[in-house]
Structure 1
Amino acid sequence: MQPDASVPAIVSPLSRTARLRRRLGRGRAALRAGDLAGAQRRAEQVRCALPAPGERSPVAGDVAVSCLQLLGDIRRDRDDLDGAVRLHRQSLRIAPDDDRRARCLAQLRVGDCLRLQAQYADSERELRAAVDLARRCEPPDPMLTAATLNALGILCKDIRRFHDAARHYGEALALLRSALGADHPRLAFVFHNLAGLEHAQGRYAAAEPLARHAIALRERGDGPTSPGAAGDLAVLGAVLLGLGRLSEAEVALNRSRRLWTSLRGVDHYEMAVVLSNLGSVLDARGDHDAARSHWRQARRIKQRVLGDRHPEVVALRHTVRSDRTDGSTSAGAVAVGRAT
């Protein structure tokens, strides 16, 4: 017997919530794969299905929180850091007080964006609050705790508190290994950051195997064309540059550049990092004019994303304006940490 089309189908609140959660899950998977348009489309579909403020709805409240957080993550990946912070703060305002996981994720994202904007004191306050919330989750969530410790480690590395960074990374790695196993692909981002930490201290030989291990894990997880893989190649390129292996560095950096171009276009912050390092390769070879051209492109992108007074922009401006042509003007290799 065929169903009567004149009788409206009954959709239970549970099934509607489940459908929206699945859609958000697909959106987050698209974001991990670098498909920003697909992630945005699914997030907007969920947002359109949510009730207006104050309106009663059978949809579970966590859907609205998760939707805002996904939209915030998309803004961050589109280099709109202010927009990302605004959305994550909005998700924090509507998250229930007893939903420690949702509140932790919001503060983690806010703290990471503030770090990128060089608002280090505010970033540390948010990240430490996120770590505290993660530790108090019931049941315990080792993955979430590891993510917050990893983000705090990146901040400590950026402000040159290297001992603290190593401690936070070490605890994050131990938690992940205990939860997932010693060689799980999701450990890639911690090895990426451990390589960046060694790089920041000039210990390039120690950094290389860590960077290569991150790449190997990433290829088994997110795949060789994911945003994570592009970031891992950039770190490897920076490490090889530090070791003076210029040809190998150039190969890794150009692979990263091609990936970022296909994933984010030519004006993304991560592209500026790669361009800066490629400029340093050219500078080390004595091609100072080409190096300055790369640094100018990197400065233009970073100035748009970070503002005119950000330390990274100031450093590149000084490098580009220098009249010296003996190679000592090099901006130096940069290795960027990854929060997830």
Structure 2
Amino acid sequence: MGQAEVARASAELQQGHALLREARANEALAVSREVVGVLTRELGEDSPDVANALLLRGEAYRMLGCGRDSMRDLLRAVAITRPLRSVGPCDRLHGQALRAVADGMWRAGRYRVAEVWLRHTLRFVEDRLADRLEAARVRNVLGVVLRYDGRHSAAEQQLRHALQETCRPGGERLAATVHHNLAGLRLAQGALEDAEHHARRALELRHDAKASSVLAVAADQLCLAGVLSARGQGEQALMLAQTALQTYRDRLGDEHVEIGYCLHVLAHAQAIEGHRQAAAELYRKAIAVKTGALGAHHPELANSWRGLASVADGNERITALSRAQSLCEHY
């Protein structure tokens, strides 16, 4: 009976990972919860199979915006798969868990902590696994962290290094993700034409890649919308951002942080089109959603507070500027 239960749970675990790749996070979470219970009971809590199930559950929680639950499971997966002196079968799983923890750290606004985890992960992947494509995945996340921490030159170095490695077999979807992140970086640097090139290339690659996640496509649409809005093309930006917003609402609900990002881009596009009142209302909604999902002190809120200040009047403008400044000083 035990072996049959383990075999069934292992098959369901693979199904759960497939569901997560399709951005069906609620279904993946339901599968992972059951599988964690079965494998823990049959194999013990320190089994590598349990760590794999915890990794799935942690990633599903992250996709759904449940940061604390995600981090709990991912840290446990790291601990279970901690390697011995010789290279072992858990090493790849350990590297994936390390990267997932770092990803959760930067999403929580803990950029310097995330950087420490990522540099440790990069050393582990390069020295222990000698896997250049997995190293590129780590460099991609590291580039994002450095960008959010304001170190644009270092971020670009990591992202372009990652992009060079995506020519390897299996690197197509990663290439789209790196182009997406280069678009965001170049936008932050004010290189709008180059940002648009990378944003459009990300969408092209995403459409060409097999089994691309609908959430990844939505993220690319939103990225391009942000670039077009910055280039003064508000009408096109509005259409793309509204499409992305509907996708996120259908998959993740109305309170997920991605909804806040969509509302922010929509607000900027409305402002570009001269609709200040509509833009102000969207910025307020973006701030409310981001605050609910991330907390009032997350550095990401500074962008929306600055946006609100650009279209608000009187005391609201002063308050928005003050909130943006205090968040930037805090981080």
TM-score interval, smaller chain: 0.7 to 0.9
Which one has the bigger helix percentage? 2
Structure 1, 219-228 or 165-174: larger mean CA deviation: 219-228
Match of 2:102, as an amino acid?
Answer: G
Equivalent residue number for residue 196 of structure 1: 184
Note closer, same or farther for the CA distance 1:24–1:209 as it changes in structure 2 (3 Å cut). same
2:33 to 44, 49, 60: 44
Tell me, in whole angstroms, the C-alpha distance in 2 between the residues paired with 1:22 and 1:186: 26
1:305 to 277, 290, 293: 293
Structure 1, 224-233 or 145-154: larger mean CA deviation: 224-233
Deviation (angstroms), 1:58: 8.6
The normalised TM-score by structure 2 is 0.85
Deviation (angstroms), 1:100: 2.9
Instruction: Note if contact 2:255-2:292 (Cα within 8 Å) is conserved in structure 1.
Output: no
Structure 1, 223-232 or 120-129: larger mean CA deviation: 223-232
Counterpart mapping for 1:270-285 below 5 A: 270-285=258-273
Instruction: Note if contact 1:33-1:222 (Cα within 8 Å) is conserved in structure 2.
Output: no
Tell me, in whole angstroms, the C-alpha distance in 2 between the residues paired with 1:32 and 1:324: 47
Deviation track 1:125-151 (CA, whole Å, cap 9, x = no partner) reads: 11111111111234x323321111111
Instruction: Note if contact 1:186-1:221 (Cα within 8 Å) is conserved in structure 2.
Output: no
Tell me, in whole angstroms, the C-alpha distance in 2 between the residues paired with 1:72 and 1:83: 7
Counterpart mapping for 1:42-81 below 5 A: 42-52=31-41, 57=43, 61-81=47-67
Equivalent residue number for residue 5 of structure 1: none
Greater C-alpha Rg: 1
2:207 to 219, 226, 229: 219
Note closer, same or farther for the CA distance 1:283–1:151 as it changes in structure 2 (3 Å cut). same
Match of 1:313, as an amino acid?
Answer: L
Equivalent residue number for residue 105 of structure 1: 96
2:12 to 23, 37, 56: 23
Deviation track 1:185-231 (CA, whole Å, cap 9, x = no partner) reads: 44211111111111111111111121111112112225577110000
Tell me, in whole angstroms, the C-alpha distance in 2 between the residues paired with 1:88 and 1:112: 10
Deviation (angstroms), 1:235: 0.2
Match of 1:38, as an amino acid?
Answer: E
Equivalent residue number for residue 329 of structure 2: none
- SS of the equivalent of 1:279 reads helix
| 1:35 has 2:24 as partner | yes
Tell me, in whole angstroms, the C-alpha distance in 2 between the residues paired with 1:171 and 1:19: 41
Structure 1, 93-102 or 216-225: larger mean CA deviation: 216-225
Instruction: Note if contact 2:156-2:182 (Cα within 8 Å) is conserved in structure 1.
Output: yes
Match of 1:45, as an amino acid?
Answer: E
Tell me, in whole angstroms, the C-alpha distance in 1 between the residues paired with 2:46 and 2:300: 42
- SS of the equivalent of 1:311 reads coil
Deviation (angstroms), 1:320: 3.7
Match of 1:67, as an amino acid?
Answer: A
Tell me, in whole angstroms, the C-alpha distance in 2 between the residues paired with 1:315 and 1:217: 28
- SS of the equivalent of 1:136 reads helix
Instruction: Note if contact 2:57-2:70 (Cα within 8 Å) is conserved in structure 1.
Output: yes
- SS of the equivalent of 1:24 reads helix
Structure 1, 222-231 or 83-92: larger mean CA deviation: 222-231
Tell me, in whole angstroms, the C-alpha distance in 2 between the residues paired with 1:78 and 1:185: 21
Equivalent residue number for residue 120 of structure 2: 129
Instruction: Note if contact 2:22-2:212 (Cα within 8 Å) is conserved in structure 1.
Output: no
Deviation track 1:224-249 (CA, whole Å, cap 9, x = no partner) reads: 77110000000000010111111111
The normalised TM-score by structure 1 is 0.83
Tell me, in whole angstroms, the C-alpha distance in 1 between the residues paired with 2:203 and 2:13: 27
Tell me, in whole angstroms, the C-alpha distance in 1 between the residues paired with 2:286 and 2:100: 25
Deviation track 1:51-70 (CA, whole Å, cap 9, x = no partner) reads: 34xxx739992211111111
Deviation (angstroms), 1:284: 1.9
Structure 1, 224-233 or 20-29: larger mean CA deviation: 20-29
Equivalent residue number for residue 4 of structure 1: none
Note closer, same or farther for the CA distance 1:311–1:299 as it changes in structure 2 (3 Å cut). same
Tell me, in whole angstroms, the C-alpha distance in 1 between the residues paired with 2:175 and 2:295: 33
Structural RMSD (CA)? 2.6
Structure 1, 115-124 or 217-226: larger mean CA deviation: 217-226
Equivalent residue number for residue 325 of structure 2: none
Instruction: Note if contact 1:186-1:217 (Cα within 8 Å) is conserved in structure 2.
Output: no
Deviation track 1:15-37 (CA, whole Å, cap 9, x = no partner) reads: 76554343222212211212122
